[in-house]
């Protein structure tokens, strides 16, 4: 994305970030109307193709809105039943499953990953390998490089467009072998999908079960998250058309601007696996994050694990990373959740501990000013909680 353009968008969205707090001082429109107006404004300010947003109020009522288009060229409006790739928001399922397995005695987050992977021929070449624990992977303090940023991955992705190609799990790990660690294990922070791929491998070795089968059993089915499922192929039900932006992390993949042809993605999202791995919808996402922090999905005794932070994350002192959860301090209060961004899709989901609200937003664009928009929506949610 052009830097000047992004700065202009941030300035525009900042106007909406302040608006919810002003609303609180005087009677405002009916909550669903306020949310719809906010959504329309955010689409315009960020030049988004479309979005879906959901807010779960403390009383359990879920407010929803959609704006813009699910298919710009064919002028198809974004609908509440559309689904979008969840990208790294899927990491919240990985961390929740790890806590459940720890509670069952399958493993401890402080177990070294050599317990399950140490006999692999490549393990001695894994940076910091002998010192890595599940915890250092979950909180991104491993010192491992992100395989997505390696040139070989970009080249492979660019050469396999419009095919069902998936980079095998060990192929992802191979891209970071023998690289110098970014820092000693447990002594820094660097977000890396490699961490969660390794966690997925450990989960499956420790349990002898398939990761996606486990999240269906423990989370998707009992919580009735019917809009959410593993993104295991290029054709996904009710998927909104995703769009790329100029510049940015994924430009080297050689992707077209429009990423869906005749209902089929031009790339296979299954490579993401435990780095994200889901197609979903904000209605399910707010139900999910509420289930986590209300003790339905995770034992209440383990919730503090999710919020145990590493040092300040990349984007500033207001933002920290826990065990598969981002902790963000905003004018509306503390937010705990996760963002997600991949080719054509991005968004966020968060729990507001102050009043128990939950928020989620997804858009069919690779990236936007997530931090500002999330802060704005949190402010609106705080206002709507009192409406």
Location of structure tokens 């969660």: 196
Does residue 315 surpass a pLDDT of 60?
no
Does residue 7 surpass a pLDDT of 60?
no
Which of these ranges, 2-16, 146-160, 248-262, 317-331, has the smallest mean pLDDT? Answer: 2-16
Nearest residue to 84 (alpha-carbon basis) of 231, 254, 245: 231
What are the tens digits of pLDDT across the range 60-83?
999 999 999 999 999 999 999 999
Nearest residue to 77 (alpha-carbon basis) of 297, 241, 315: 241
d(CA 268, CA 299): 34
d(CA 85, CA 229): 10
**C-alpha torsion sign, points 67, 71, 75, 80:** negative
Report the DSSP pairing between strands 278-280 and 229-230: antiparallel
pLDDT at site 246: 78
pLDDT at site 339: 95
Better-scored residue on pLDDT, 317 or 116: 116
d(CA 95, CA 327): 14
Does residue 13 surpass a pLDDT of 80?
no
Query: Could you tell me what percent of the chain has a pLDDT over 70?
Result: 91
Better-scored residue on pLDDT, 10 or 109: 109
5 token code pair: 């353009």
Does residue 22 surpass a pLDDT of 80?
no
Does residue 18 surpass a pLDDT of 60?
no
What are the tens digits of pLDDT across the range 215-231?
999 999 999 999 999 99
pLDDT band, very low/low/confident/very high, at 311 (cuts 50, 70, 90): low
319 forms beta bridges with: 328
What is the average per-residue pLDDT within 101-125?
A: 98
Domains contained in the chain, CATH given = 1-387 (3.40.710.10)
22 CB-near residues (< 8 Å, 6+ apart):
none
Contact 27, 386 (CB under 8 A): no
Better-scored residue on pLDDT, 318 or 331: 331
d(CA 270, CA 260): 15
pTM of the entire structure?
0.92
Does residue 163 surpass a pLDDT of 60?
yes
d(CA 325, CA 96): 10
């Amino acid at each position: 994305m052009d830097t000047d353009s992004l700065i202009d968008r941030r300035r525009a969205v900042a106007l909406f970030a302040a608006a919810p707090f002003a609303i609180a001082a005087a009677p405002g429109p009916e909550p669903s109307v306020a949310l719809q107006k906010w959504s329309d404004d955010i689409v315009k300010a960020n030049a988004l193709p479309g979005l879906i947003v959901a807010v779960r109020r403390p009383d359990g009522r879920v407010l929803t809105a959609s704006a813009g288009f699910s298919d710009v060229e064919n002028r198809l409006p974004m609908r509440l039943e559309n689904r979008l790739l969840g990208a790294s928001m899927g990491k919240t399922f990985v961390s929740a499953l790890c806590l459940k397995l720890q509670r069952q005695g399958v493993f401890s987050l402080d177990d070294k990953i050599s317990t399950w992977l140490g006999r692999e021929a490549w393990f001695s070449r894994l940076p910091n390998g002998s010192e890595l624990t599940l915890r250092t992977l979950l909180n991104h303090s491993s010192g491992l490089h992100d395989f997505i940023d390696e040139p070989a991955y970009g080249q492979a992705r660019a050469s396999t467009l419009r095919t069902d190609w998936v980079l095998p799990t060990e192929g992802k790990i191979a891209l970071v072998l023998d690289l110098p660690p970014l820092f000693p294990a447990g002594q820094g922070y660097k977000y890396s999908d490699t961490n969660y791929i390794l966690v997925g491998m450990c989960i499956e070795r420790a349990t002898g079960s398939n990761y996606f089968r486990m999240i269906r059993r423990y989370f998707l089915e009992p919580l009735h998250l019917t809009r959410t499922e593993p993104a295991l192929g290029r054709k996904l039900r009710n998927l909104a058309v995703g769009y790329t932006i100029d510049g940015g992390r994924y430009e080297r993949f050689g992707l077209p601007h429009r990423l869906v042809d005749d209902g089929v993605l031009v790339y296979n999202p299954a490579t993401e696996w435990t780095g994200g791995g889901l197609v979903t919808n904000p209605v399910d996402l707010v139900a999910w994050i509420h289930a986590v922090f209300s003790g339905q999905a995770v034992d209440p005794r383990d919730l503090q694990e999710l919020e145990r932070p590493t040092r300040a994350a990349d984007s500033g002192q207001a933002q920290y990373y826990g065990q598969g959860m981002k902790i963000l301090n905003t004018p509306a209060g503390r937010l705990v959740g996760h963002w997600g961004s991949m080719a054509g899709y991005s968004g966020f989901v968060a729990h507001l501990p102050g009043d128990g609200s939950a928020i989620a937003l997804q858009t069919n664009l690779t990236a936007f000013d997530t931090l500002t928009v999330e802060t704005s929506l949190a402010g609106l949610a705080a206002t709507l909680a009192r409406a």
